[in-house]
C-alpha cells in the first residue's frame, strides 16, 4: 500500500504504508536512538507528533510487555527507512506493524530518513501529514496548512483521577504531565509510596497529602501553555522537596522567573552528552523535548545551573539556592537509554530525608 508523507514546505516523500490504515497530521520530529522504539512510541512527550527514526531498521525485536512507557500512545505517526516485518526476540509478543494497527497509529517505510532529518535540522520541525497515495495532493496540502496543532497536549495525556502505586517507604507525589512509567518503576525500586495526581491538581490538595517530596514529571508541549501549574509550583516550593524532570524542569524554571523558548529541532534520543558543572562529569542521557530554558533569563541569585548539554550548551539542570528543589532537562529514568543518571533518584531520596530531619529538629527546638 503506497503512502505519502507531505510537509508544509511542499516536500513529498513516497513510501510503503504499515500500521493503521488512516491519514494523520502532526509535528514531524526525529529521534536518534538506535533501539528503544517501543519506549519512544509510547512516551507521551511525543503527543501529537510524527516520529522519524534515524536508525535504518526499526521493529527487528518486536513489541514486548515490559517496555511500555504508557498504555495508550498518542503520537500521530511513525516514519522509518525500513520496518522489520518479522521480529526476532524471545520477549516479543507482536510485531511493530501489529502494535501500530492495535493503537491506530499509521506508519510509513521506505522514506529517505537521512534526507528528512537533514531538512528538519536545517529548517526546524515542520507540520506534516501521512496520507494515502491516491489522495488528491492539492486538497491534502490545503488541509495540512489549515490544520492548527493542539496546545492542550498535557490535558490530553495526564490522568484525570489520582491513583496510587503502593509502597512502604517515603510518601512521594508525582504530578502527571504525561509521565513515563519508568519514573514510577525507579521510585518503586526505592520502596516509595507513590500517589499520581492530575496536572491541574491544586497546591492545597498536594500539601494535604503530606508528601515527603513531589516530582514534576515529563510531558509534551510548550510549558507556557500551563500558567496555573506555575502558581501551584510557587505555592508548594519551600514546603516540600521538588524534583523536576523534562517538562517539569521547564515549568519549575518558569515558576522561578526564568524564560523558555522553542528549539529549532529539539533533543530526541538517548545519546546526548551532558556535563555536570560542579564536577565536570560527563553523562550520556535520554532526552525528548522541543523547548529549553533560556540561560540568560535565569536569576543567578535564586537558581544554580547544575548541568549543561555539551553540543549546544543548553541548560540541562537547575538547583534552587535556598529551597529543597532541583530539576533536570533529561530523563534520569533511562528508558530507553543509558543508566548514567539513575543516581538522581537516590539524590532525591536523600534530599527528602534531609529536609524531614531538619523540620523535626526545628520542631524539637520550638
Going by their DSSP bridges, the two strands 325-328 and 242-245 should be labelled as parallel
* Residue range 2-149, CATH number: 3.50.30.20
In tens, the pLDDT along 326-360 reads: 999 999 998 889 999 999 999 999 999 999 998 87
Look at residue 362 in the predicted model and tell me its pLDDT: 72
Look at residue 359 in the predicted model and tell me its pLDDT: 84
Residue 259 is among the residues annotated as catalytic for this protein: no
Neighbours of 63 (CB within 10 A): 25
Look at residue 1 in the predicted model and tell me its pLDDT: 87
CATH 3.40.50.880 domain position(s) in the chain: 154-365
3-state secondary structure of 352: helix
* Confidence band for 24, pLDDT divided at 50, 70 and 90: very high
Is residue 55 annotated as involved in ligand binding? Answer: no
Minimal CA–CA distance to 296: which of 314, 316, 275? 314
Look at residue 297 in the predicted model and tell me its pLDDT: 98
Phi, psi values for residue 139, rounded to 5°: -65, -40
* Residue range 154-365, CATH number: 3.40.50.880
- The CA–CA distances, whole Å, from 250 to 159, 177, 285 equal 20, 12, 17
Is residue 359 annotated as involved in ligand binding? Answer: no
Is residue 288 annotated as involved in ligand binding? Answer: yes
- Catalytic residue (choose from 267, 289, 307, 331): 331
Is residue 291 annotated as involved in ligand binding? Answer: yes
Task: Kindly state the DSSP code that residue 330 receives in the 8-state scheme.
Answer: S
Return the C-alpha cell found at 220: 509534551
Residue 272 is among the residues annotated as catalytic for this protein: no
Give, to the nearest 10 degrees, the angle between helix 247-255 and helix 227-236.
70
Going by their DSSP bridges, the two strands 49-53 and 77-79 should be labelled as parallel
In tens, the pLDDT along 203-235 reads: 999 999 999 999 999 999 999 999 999 999 999
* Confidence band for 130, pLDDT divided at 50, 70 and 90: very high
Asked if residues 333 and 183 have their Cβ atoms less than 8 Å apart, the reply is yes
Is residue 188 annotated as involved in ligand binding? Answer: no
Is residue 358 annotated as involved in ligand binding? Answer: no
In tens, the pLDDT along 271-327 reads: 899 999 999 999 999 999 999 999 999 999 999 999 999 999 999 999 999 999 999
Residue 343 is among the residues annotated as catalytic for this protein: no
**CA–CA gap between residue 62 and residue 60 (Å, rounded):** 6
Look at residue 323 in the predicted model and tell me its pLDDT: 97
CATH 3.50.30.20 domain position(s) in the chain: 2-149
Q: Is the pLDDT of residue 363 over 70?
A: no
Return the C-alpha cell found at 33: 536512538
**CA–CA gap between residue 290 and residue 263 (Å, rounded):** 6
Going by their DSSP bridges, the two strands 193-197 and 163-165 should be labelled as antiparallel
Is residue 64 annotated as involved in ligand binding? Answer: no
Look at residue 365 in the predicted model and tell me its pLDDT: 63
Rounded percentage of the chain residues whose pLDDT exceeds 70: 99
Is cis: bond before 336, omega within 30 of 0?
yes
Minimal CA–CA distance to 48: which of 196, 222, 229, 201? 222
Average pLDDT over residues 67-76: 97
Helix, strand and coil content of the chain, in percent to the nearest 5, comes to 30, 30, 40
- Catalytic residue (choose from 246, 249, 283, 307): 246
Mean pLDDT of the chain: 96
- Catalytic residue (choose from 43, 67, 97, 333): 333
146 conformational bin, left if phi > 0, alpha if psi -120 to 50, beta if neither = alpha
Q: Is the pLDDT of residue 259 over 90?
A: yes
Amino acid at each position: 500500500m503506497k503512502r505519502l508523507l507531505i510537509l508544509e514546505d511542499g516536500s513529498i516523500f513516497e513510501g510503503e504504508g504499515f500500521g493503521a490504515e488512516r491519514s494523520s497530521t502532526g509535528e514531524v520530529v526525529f529521534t536518534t536512538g538506535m533501539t528503544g522504539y517501543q519506549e519512544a512510541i509510547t512516551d507521551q512527550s511525543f503527543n501529537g507528533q510524527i516520529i522519524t527514526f534515524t536508525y535504518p531498521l526499526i521493529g527487528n525485536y518486536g513489541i514486548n510487555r515490559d517496555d511500555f512507557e504508557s498504555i495508550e500512545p498518542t503520537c500521530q505517526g511513525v516514519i522509518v527507512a525500513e520496518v522489520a516485518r518479522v521480529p526476532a526476540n524471545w520477549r516479543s509478543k507482536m510485531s511493530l506493524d501489529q502494535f501500530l494497527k492495535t493503537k491506530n497509529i499509521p506508519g510509513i517505510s521506505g522514506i529517505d530518513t537521512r534526507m528528512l532529518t537533514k531538512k528538519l535540522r536545517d529548517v526546524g520541525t515542520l507540520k506534516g501529514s501521512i496520507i494515502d497515495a491516491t489522495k488528491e495532493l492539492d486538497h491534502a496540502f490545503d488541509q495540512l496548512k489549515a490544520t492548527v496543532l493542539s496546545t492542550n497536549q498535557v490535558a490530553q495525556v495526564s490522568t484525570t483521577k489520582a491513583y496510587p502505586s503502593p509502597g512502604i517507604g517515603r510518601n512521594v507525589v508525582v504530578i502527571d504531565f504525561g509521565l513515563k512509567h519508568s519514573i514510577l518503576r525507579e521510585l518503586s525500586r526505592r520502596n516509595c509510596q507513590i500517589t499520581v495526581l492530575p496536572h491541574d491538581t491544586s497546591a492545597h490538595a498536594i500539601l494535604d497529602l503530606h508528601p515527603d517530596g513531589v516530582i514534576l514529571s515529563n510531558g509534551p508541549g510548550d510549558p507556557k501553555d500551563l500558567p496555573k501549574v506555575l502558581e501551584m509550583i510557587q505555592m508548594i516550593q519551600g514546603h516540600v522537596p521538588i524534583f523536576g524532570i523534562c517538562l517539569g524542569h521547564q515549568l519549575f524554571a518558569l515558576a522561578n522567573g526564568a524564560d523558555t523558548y522553542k528549539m529549532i529541532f529539539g533533543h530526541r534520543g538517548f545519546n546526548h552528552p551532558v556535563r555536570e558543572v560542579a564536577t565536570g562529569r560527563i553523562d550520556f542521557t535520554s532526552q525528548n523535548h522541543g523547548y529549553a530554558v533560556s540561560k540568560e533569563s535565569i536569576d543567578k541569585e535564586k537558581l544554580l545551573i547544575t548541568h549543561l548539554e555539551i553540543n549546544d550548551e543548553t541548560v540541562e539542570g537547575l538547583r534552587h539556592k535556598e529551597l529543597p528543589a532541583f530539576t533536570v532537562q533529561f530523563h534520569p529514568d533511562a528508558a530507553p537509554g543509558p543508566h548514567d543518571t539513575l543516581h538522581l533518584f537516590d539524590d532525591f531520596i536523600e534530599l527528602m530525608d534531609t529536609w524531614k530531619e531538619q523540620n523535626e529538629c526545628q520542631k524539637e527546638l520550638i
